[in-house]
Amino acid sequence: MKHIIKPALSLFFIATIITTLLAFSYNRTLEPIAAQIRKMQEKTMKEIMPEASGYREIPVEKTGNIVRVFEGLKGGEITGYVIELAPPGYSGAINMMAGISKAENKITGMRVLRHTETPGLGALAVKENFYRKFDGKNLTPLKVVKNSPGADEIEAMTGATITTRAITNAVNEAIEWYNIYEVDKEL
């Protein structure tokens, strides 16, 4: 019996020490990681809505793929909105942001923040030639097409139609939120 208790106690103490060290490391790195995430989000918001000089999160009902909504501000005036979304893609959630200009009533941009899409296919959603397809689009529902996109269409990435559709549907959800939110504010 002694030959079992001594190794079990040794393993227990080693596991306790390692768990304590991991908890300490986690707590020490939690705030720096959160600060880096905030910094990345602010940089992304500035890229998709450069006319705003600041951003303020507003309370909204989180429906569908909407995670958070920020007002873009310049001189105290609302220039537009940045909507953070997390639609399900081919391999998991696609964390992204879409910007909508209040003055122009157009999409100001879209960026993918994090994803687990297939390398070389769906992962190409982070490339400029894909996300620029959304810039300046009207606030009408967008459709995914295989080739020769029109004004309200987005050309699918080759081999990544599911990813393209997920991102486009999320942008459509942002457009729908904006259209309803602006009408409700006017009433």
187, pLDDT greater than 60? no
Q: Domain range spanning residue 80?
A: 46-186
The pLDDT of residue 121: 67
Per the domain annotation, does 165 fall within a domain?
A: yes
Per the domain annotation, does 173 fall within a domain?
A: yes
The per-residue DSSP string of the chain comes to -HHHHHHHHHHHHHHHHHHHHHHHHHHHHHHHHHHHHHHHHHHHHHHH-TT-SEEEEE-----TTEEEEEEEEETTEEEEEEEEE--B-SSSB-EEEEEEETTTTEEEEEEEEE--PPTTTGGGGGSHHHHGGGTT-BSS--EEESSS--TTEEEPPTT-HHHHHHHHHHHHHHHHHHHHHHHHHH-
Per the domain annotation, does 41 fall within a domain?
A: no
Per the domain annotation, does 9 fall within a domain?
A: no
Q: Give pLDDT tens digits for 50-103.
A: 999 999 999 988 788 999 999 999 998 999 999 999 998 888 888 999 999 998
Per the domain annotation, does 52 fall within a domain?
A: yes
Per the domain annotation, does 17 fall within a domain?
A: no
The pLDDT of residue 176: 93
In the chain, the number of structural domains is 1
The pLDDT of residue 147: 83
Q: Give pLDDT tens digits for 105-132.
A: 999 999 988 776 767 666 667 778 888 8
Q: Give pLDDT tens digits for 117-171.
A: 767 666 667 778 888 899 999 999 999 998 888 888 898 887 878 888 999 999 9
Per the domain annotation, does 31 fall within a domain?
A: no
Q: Give pLDDT tens digits for 20-46.
A: 999 999 999 989 988 988 888 889 999
Per the domain annotation, does 96 fall within a domain?
A: yes
